[in-house]
Amino acid sequence: MDEILPEADEVTILAGVKYRENLMSYLQAQFPKVSVPMEGLQIGRQLRWMKNAKTI
């Protein structure tokens, strides 16, 4: 991943807990800020969050 991830000050993770559980320590070591905006939400609420999320 070191070769393909761009340099950044922040990374946002939209994956569920099972998908990110083995990546978090790596990402936290690589990026100053790692945010997980849907952390703790059940799947229905995650889907609603994604549907209502504004794109840049």
Give the pLDDT score at 33: 96
Give the pLDDT score at 5: 86
DSSP calls for the chain = -TTTSPP-SEEE--S-HHHHTTTHHHHHHH-SEEE-TTTT--HHHHHHHHHHPPP-
Ordered by start, the domain boundaries in the chain are: 10-52
- Helices and strands (DSSP H and E) totals, the chain: 3, 2
**Letter string b/e over residues 14-52, b meaning 16 or more CB atoms within 10 A of that residue's CB:** eeeeeeeeeeeeeeeeebeebebebeeeeeeebeeeeee
The pLDDT tens digits for 11-50 are 999 988 899 999 999 999 999 999 999 999 998 999 899 8
The pLDDT tens digits for 2-13 are 888 888 999 999
This prediction's pTM: 0.75
